[in-house]
A and B are shown apart, each in its own frame.
Chain A
């Protein structure tokens, strides 16, 4: 199994509070991703990183920010949580594409409930 740890695994918080989710990898992979999974939508990309301090927006980035200060850690922050951000959040990693396409490997997710 890919060495990916997401924390916390579960969180309940109130509307308007800030929330930070952490993804930690031990694979030294270049690429890291944050997705959210909602019924009927599959997984949708929020933000991704292609190196330390290098990040870009995904499909559903509004209301989210990310930071990557070290290769192994990728943080997702909800500055002011809203009920529409209640979801299951997955982190994924992928190695360099020097040798061609590489699949992404996923963590076990964080279930976030915003009341």
Chain B
């Protein structure tokens, strides 16, 4: 039973355009959400997070949107750059918890 799902295994986008990555969750107890970026042969790197009390968080080119009623979050990367080519994982944590549940990942390819 996957509680966090990334339904698009891959995404291809042109350099300079917007990349939109989606993530759905089923457990209403989740209240903290994170995105990680992973290059081959490296560990995941924390990118951006959002608490359930917010619906948007922005950090430079990265914006995360949270729709609690739909149990859906998305990551927008604008503008996309070739260095953004990586696998992106969304993750969720329960209130007062300390364990993350990860989605299966989305591989992003940014074409020059």
Q: A40-B104, A42-B104 are in contact. Are A48 and B42 (CB under 8 A)?
A: no
Interface 1/0 per residue, A3-44 and B, CB below 8 Å: 010000000000000000000000000010100000011111
- In the bound complex, what is the Cα–Cα distance between A19 and B26 (angstroms)? 36
Q: For chain A, which range describes its interface: under 10, 10 to 19, 20 to 34, or 35 or more residues?
A: 20 to 34
In the complex, what residue of chain B is closest to A48 when comparing beta carbons? B99
- In the bound complex, what is the Cα–Cα distance between A29 and B6 (angstroms)? 30
- In the bound complex, what is the Cα–Cα distance between A92 and B45 (angstroms)? 11
Task: Please tell me the number of chain B residues within 8 Å of chain A, measured between CB atoms.
Answer: 24
- In the bound complex, what is the Cα–Cα distance between A66 and B84 (angstroms)? 35
Instruction: Please give, as numbers and ranges, the residues of chain A lying within 8 Å of B99 by CB-CB distance.
Output: 33, 45, 48, 58
Show the binding face of A for B, using Cβ within 8 Å.
4, 31, 33, 40-45, 48, 50, 58-59, 90, 92, 94, 97, 100-101, 103-109
CB<8 Å pairs between A and B, sample of 19:
A31-B98, A41-B104, A42-B6, A42-B89, A42-B102, A42-B104, A43-B89, A43-B91, A90-B43, A97-B98, A100-B51, A101-B32, A103-B34, A103-B49, A104-B46, A104-B100, A105-B46, A106-B45, A109-B41
Show the binding face of B for A, using Cβ within 8 Å.
4, 6, 32, 34, 36, 41-46, 49, 51, 89, 91, 93, 98-105
Instruction: Beyond A94-B98, A109-B42, list 16 extra A-B contacts (CB 8 Å).
Output: A42-B103, A42-B104, A43-B44, A43-B89, A48-B98, A48-B99, A90-B43, A90-B44, A92-B43, A101-B32, A101-B49, A101-B93, A103-B46, A104-B46, A105-B46, A108-B41
